[in-house]
Structure formats: structure tokens, C-alpha cells
């Protein structure tokens, strides 16, 4: 993963503009760049599931979310169509299960995105098609004395290699019926998987930190947290804030508090 330490937000905007132009020329606009913001530049690119259970078998995670499905549907009055677990248990031990995972056909994808947006541990890594949204997430929860924040940029690569033992990144697009935050945040997701006798969730560092560029290219830009007030002020003027991205009463209060205690200084 290529890492660049920048001094100002203006430098970041210049870098992202350059990457966007290069990507547009090379890909013709297909599969736009994805962005992800993290409030601590020392954190790895990792999913919420990685922080609970590393390298979990896909069938095991599928069984787990199936077990809690009835409780969630009872609370939300929403039903999700899911293949039966015995089918997934059998298919996930076959390499051909790849055909069920790629190109947005992940079993239970809509349900999994709903869980991700409600903070249940997930193998999906959430990204956004908006660099402004990613920048907001990078700066919103940091303190100005906390060091540096990070914005990651991911670009697909055509003709990617795949095979037994090769970690791969599967990208799932925006077209899914799920939580409203998915649309407010212009979300997309990636799933890092590998096949060793069965399909399992893999860590992103095995793909991006070891030069496996056949899966795509990822850049990491870091910025000083001292840019926080400046960045949040401009983003709020563009209507990129907690309320516009979450749409809840709590996020409205957070946005108002940010305006009065931080941006009004």
C-alpha cells in the first residue's frame, strides 16, 4: 500500500483530483474510486469482524447471522431472503462458490449491509464513492491533538487473478435494498476472502501490504488532525455532516453541538 503523509487538506484535494483524472482515463468511468476515512492513521485497514474474530470461515459467520435473523426481523418488521444454511455450508467448501461471491451476488448481501450499518461485526469493509464523506469520517471523531487521520482510496483492477490460496478482494456495488444510511453515505463494500479447503474471511493486509496488486490498488493519505475545524466547517457548509449522513435525532444533536462548540470558535 502506497502511503503519503500530507500537510494540509488542500494537498489532499489536489492528490485526489489527480488520482480521479488518472482513473477516469484508465477505466473510462467504470467502477469509480472508493474512499474510506479513519480517525487514527495508525489503525490498519480492517473490518469490524477482524476486531472480534480473525479469519472466520464464511459458513461460520453465515450460520451466526442466520441464528439472530428472527430476532432482528421481529424488531424491524423487515424480512431478508437468505439461502438455507445447509446449502451455504456445502457450497463454501467448494472453490466454485466463488461464482456465488463475486459481482455483488454474495449470499445475504442486503441483510449483511443492514447489520454493518447497525454496528454488528461484519466481514464487509464499508467505503463511500464520495471523498467528502470519507474525509468527514476521518476528522469527525478525532481530536486536534491526536496526531494524524487517514483517507484510503481503492481502485479496481481488471483481469484480476484468483485461485486456491490467493487472497482476493470482492467489490459489491450500491444497488441493494437495505438501511437508509447506505444511500445517505453513498456506500459500497468490499469483502476480502481466500480459499483454503473452504472459503474464509481474510485480512486486508495480506492483499495490500504484501504487494498483491492484482487485486486492485490502494493508497493511504494521512493528514494532521489539526486540520479538523477547518475541514468540518467547509464540509458542513456543503451539507456533509453527521445529520446528513445518519438522519437521526442523535446525529442532529451532534451536528448542532459541533456547530456551536467547535465551528463557531
* Domain range summary for the chain, segments of one domain joined by +: 2-39+49-139+148-225
pLDDT in tens, 189-220: 999 999 999 999 999 888 886 655 567 889 99
Measured CA to CA, the distance from residue 226 to residue 264 in angstroms comes to 16
Set of cell numbers at residue 160 = 484480476
pLDDT in tens, 105-156: 789 999 999 999 999 999 999 999 999 999 999 999 998 888 999 999 999 8
Residues 6+ away with beta carbon under 8 Å from 229:
144, 262, 263, 265
In the chain, which residue ranges form alpha helices assigned H by DSSP?
9-27, 58-67, 69-76, 85-91, 98-101, 109-117, 131-140, 180-184, 205-208, 228-237, 242-246, 249-258
Among the residue ranges 50-54, 61-65, 134-138, 237-241, the one predicted with the least confidence is 50-54
Residue 149: predicted pLDDT: 98
Count the Cβ atoms, other than its own, within 10 Å of residue 187.
25
Residue 210: predicted pLDDT: 61
Q: Is residue 226's pLDDT more than 90?
A: yes
- Highest mean pLDDT out of 26-30, 63-67, 213-217: 63-67
pLDDT in tens, 76-102: 999 999 999 999 999 999 999 988 887
Measured CA to CA, the distance from residue 156 to residue 104 in angstroms comes to 14
Q: Residues 153, 19: contact at Cβ < 8 Å?
A: yes
Q: Is residue 28's pLDDT more than 60?
A: no
Amino acid at each position: 500500500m502506497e502511503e503519503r503523509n500530507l500537510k494540509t487538506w488542500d494537498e489532499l484535494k489536489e492528490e485526489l483530483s489527480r488520482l480521479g483524472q488518472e482513473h477516469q482515463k484508465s477505466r473510462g468511468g467504470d467502477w469509480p474510486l472508493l474512499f474510506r476515512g479513519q480517525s487514527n492513521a495508525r489503525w490498519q485497514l480492517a473490518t469490524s469482524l477482524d476486531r472480534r474474530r480473525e479469519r472466520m470461515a464464511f459458513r461460520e459467520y453465515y450460520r451466526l447471522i442466520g441464528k439472530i435473523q428472527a430476532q432482528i426481523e421481529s424488531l424491524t418488521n423487515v424480512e431478508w431472503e437468505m439461502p438455507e444454511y445447509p446449502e451455504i455450508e456445502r457450497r463454501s467448501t467448494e472453490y466454485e462458490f466463488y461464482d456465488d461471491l463475486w459481482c455483488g451476488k454474495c449470499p445475504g448481501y442486503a441483510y449483511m449491509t443492514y447489520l454493518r450499518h447497525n454496528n454488528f461485526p461484519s466481514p464487509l469493509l464499508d467505503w463511500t464513492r464520495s471523498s467528502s464523506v470519507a474525509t468527514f469520517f476521518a476528522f469527525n471523531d478525532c481530536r486536534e491533538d491526536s496526531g494524524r487521520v487517514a483517507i484510503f482510496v481503492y481502485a479496481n483492477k481488471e483481469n484480476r487473478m484468483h485461485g486456491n490460496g490467493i487472497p482476493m478482494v470482492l467489490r459489491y456495488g450500491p444497488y441493494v435494498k437495505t438501511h437508509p444510511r447506505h444511500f445517505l453515505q453513498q456506500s459500497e463494500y468490499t469483502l476480502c476472502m481466500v480459499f483454503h479447503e473452504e472459503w474464509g474471511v481474510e485480512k486486508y493486509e495480506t492483499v495490500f501490504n504484501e504487494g498483491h496488486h492484482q487485486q486492485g490498488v490502494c493508497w493511504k493519505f494521512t493528514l494532521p488532525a489539526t486540520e479538523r475545524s477547518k475541514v468540518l466547517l467547509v464540509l458542513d457548509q456543503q451539507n456533509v455532516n453527521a445529520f446528513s449522513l445518519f438522519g437521526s435525532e442523535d446525529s442532529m444533536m451532534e451536528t448542532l453541538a459541533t456547530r456551536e462548540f467547535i465551528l463557531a470558535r
